[in-house]
Amino acid sequence: MTDTGADRKTAGENRSGSVCAFIIVITGILLSCLTAIFGSDILPEYHDKLFHLRRLAALAQTLKSGYFPARIYFVMNQGTGYAMPVFYPDFFLYFPAFLVNVSVPLGIAYDIYVIMVNAVTGIVTYLSVKEILKGEKIISAVISFIYLLSVYRLTDVYIRDAAGEYTAMAFLPLVICCFIRIYRGKKKDGFTEVLKNSALLGISMALLAVSHVLTTMMAAGFLAVCALILFKKTFKKNVILTLMLSVLIFFGLTAYVMYPMADYMLSDRYLVSESSNIMRGFYPGWRDLLEIIPSGSGSGIAYDNRMPTAVGPAVTAILAAWFVRTMLLMAGGRKSQDGDKKIPASISAELILFVVTGLSLFISSKYFPWTYIEQNGGVLRSVFCSVQFSWRYIGPATVCACVLGAYLIRDIKEASPKLSLVFIVMLLILAVLPGVILQKRAISENGHATIVRGEDIGIVSDELYFPVSWNREAEYAEYPEAVNCMVDSYARNGGDWLVSVSGASEDASLTFPVVYYKGYVTVSGDGKKLDTLQSSDGRIRVLIPQGFSGELKMGFRESAAWRIAEIISLISIESVILIFTRRKKRRKEISE
């Protein structure tokens, strides 16, 4: 009877813990969605909301025209086309694009996307931290709450409207969780466990890659640094095998994104590569990083009108408390009755998280030698300046500090449950106040505009991702320009042009008002391919054979290599699913 009572008590505690954790996470999600719900029509100056609304509108139109996957936004850039999806993955925008195509207003579809990402962020963070702490539900929920309302993340969501970056931030806790799982593994773990851990890390990094390439690069860089710090474990058989397999799985899952991007970058010069090693924006000082009450607007370029670049008081409190606690432990200030120091078993992981957080904040600040690196170029410039804005490094610092906070709260709880409760309440308050204030100010300090359709904002493009030969300022005719031939008629359907040509003499050609990207092909009515080239001003130029009369069709077609990359990604997805379903089936068989 005693055992039954104890079991019931434990089950009751688990249920109450689950309910409490659920309430904390849901509250965090709802509080992080205040602006999306009550200020959905805000339009911050200097930032990317219009850019991403145009992306969304163009993707919806491209899908509606029958092109899948979308590789060229044919309606963008005044109808001349824009290969943004090749350089800037739009995987997660397909859902809001579907909403737009079923008559949901563009602005509302974007707000639904924001709410969806906030919810995913809260859930992923909770589950990741719970896995790291091996079942600590309340602490995991608290960290999820703090991360959801962290100042830099909310700045990304509601001031910068950096859709790719804040989407990627939803999966950073998962990356850390998977990395810790690998290094926490045991020597006796079999190949099945190695394969599972490889798949988890590969999936988490792939989710970053289909969200935001720059965040993926930063995450990969920091993981490499951590692997070097832990080199003794890194080169153990299971760990190195797991890491190598995770890289293969990552490239398999993202082949449909990575291969086309690499294909373009190697085949031509684009503005993205010309500007990727130039730093833009201001460099935060320590006062900016430690700011307590954030504004709700501002620029990422001009310091005099700067946006918030703080880690937030909750994150600052975690870092300060961890440092003080650890110094006391190291100095022998906290000892058990037998005289042994109470050093947590997780101190190595905590120390690495603290170092990575500090390193990220240092790199993000004006105290880092940015000027020297920019002037001297080389590998350092390519590595550090590829992110374009120094304050982007605050993102990795925020997530590492939050995971560090999870370890810290658990350590405090083991020493004094009451003190841990006080610390949790303090952190929740320190997270809520700036998070709510930032959103309230974002609604009041920015302009407002109701956007229903893409046409309301003009489906134009940004300056990036064009061939360097393209002249954006020039005005071109809306029809194919003929040289030494006659255009009898032409029609356009989405990205395809159907042209009737006659009287072609020597050196005849057609120049289309379309930006040339690799993949455009032209076929005559009898199925023969015509030479499709890039003109000197970046447009598409088709060479017409002498004496040619008839119809020709010009449009974008994915190469066989691109299709193979897509097939590889599909096979990789199926393989990953098989890894987990077989593992689950095996567990079931063992239990029976």
Q: Are residues 455 and 523 in the same domain?
A: no
Pair (456, 548) in one structural domain: no
Higher pLDDT, 560 or 454: 560
Which CATH number do you get for residue 514?
2.60.40
Number of structural domains found in the chain: 2
Could you tell me if residue 106 is inside a domain? yes
Give all strands (DSSP E) within 199-275, no chain letters: none
Residue-wise pLDDT tens digits, 162-185: 999 999 999 999 999 999 999 987
Range of 523's domain? 481-558
Residue 261 within any structural domain of the chain: no
Per-residue confidence (pLDDT) for residue 338, from 0 to 100: 47
Distance of CA 187 to the CA centre of its chain: 33
455, 548: one domain: no
As a whole number of angstroms, the distance between CA 504 and CA 135 comes to 75
Residue-level pLDDT at 589 = 53
Question: Are 460 and 553 members of one domain?
Answer: no
pLDDT of residue 337: 44
Q: Which band of pLDDT confidence, cut at 50, 70 and 90, is reported for residue 473?
A: confident
Q: State how far the alpha carbon of 297 is from the alpha carbons of 287, 441, 444, in Å.
A: 17, 7, 9
* Structure confidence at residue 205 (pLDDT): 97
> CA-to-CA distance for 479 and 486, rounded, in angstroms?
12
Check residues 419 and 78 and name the one with the higher pLDDT: 419
Task: Tell me if 356 sits within 8 A of 226, measured CB to CB.
Answer: yes
Confidence of residue 530 (pLDDT cuts 50, 70, 90): very high
Chain mean pLDDT for the chain: 89
Q: How far apart are CA 534 and CA 264, in angstroms?
A: 14
Looking at residue 455, the DSSP 8-state letter turns out to be G
pTM here is 0.91
pLDDT value for 562: 96
Q: Is residue 34 part of a domain?
A: yes
For the cut 70, the answer to whether the pLDDT of residue 339 exceeds it is: no
Q: Are residues 114 and 80 in the same domain?
A: yes
Regarding whether 145 and 60 lie in a shared domain, the answer is yes
Determine, yes or no, domain membership for 326.
Answer: no
Residues 493, 456 share a domain: no
Give the mean model confidence (pLDDT) for residues 192-196.
Answer: 89
Instruction: Please check whether residues 504 and 533 belong to one and the same domain.
Output: yes
Examine the domain organization and report whether 92 and 142 are in the same domain. yes
**Does 262 fall in a domain?**
no
Percent of the chain with pLDDT over 90: 65
Q: How far apart are CA 182 and CA 316, in angstroms?
A: 28
Question: 13 and 57: one domain?
Answer: yes
Q: How far apart are the first and last CA of the chain?
A: 28
Top-confidence residue, 391 or 475: 391
Predicted local confidence at residue 592, as pLDDT: 52
Is position 286 within any domain? no
Is 38 a domain residue?
A: yes
pLDDT average, residue stretch 559-572: 96
Please state, in angstroms and as integers, the Cα–Cα distance from residue 313 to each residue in 262, 403, 431, following that order: 41, 16, 7
pLDDT of residue 117: 98
Backbone phi, psi, residue 105, to 5°: -55, 145
Question: Residue 580's closest CA among 223, 238, 193?
Answer: 193
Question: Of 441, 467, 493, which residue constitutes the final position of a domain?
Answer: 467
> Which tens digits make up the pLDDT trace of 251-290?
999 999 999 999 998 887 877 654 555 677 789 999 999 9
How many Å apart are CA 109 and CA 56, to the nearest integer? Answer: 9
Q: Whose CA is closest to 202, among 147, 252, 153, 162?
A: 252
How far apart are the C-alpha atoms of 109 and 95, rounded to whole Å?
9
> Is the confidence at residue 2, as pLDDT, over 90?
no
- Using the predicted structure, report yes or no on whether residue 3 has a pLDDT greater than 60: no
For residues 97 and 142, state if they share a domain: yes
Dump pLDDT digits (tens) for 491-511: 998 889 999 999 889 889 999
Confirm whether 499 is domain-assigned: yes
Encode pLDDT of 114-123 as tens digits.
Answer: 999 999 999 9
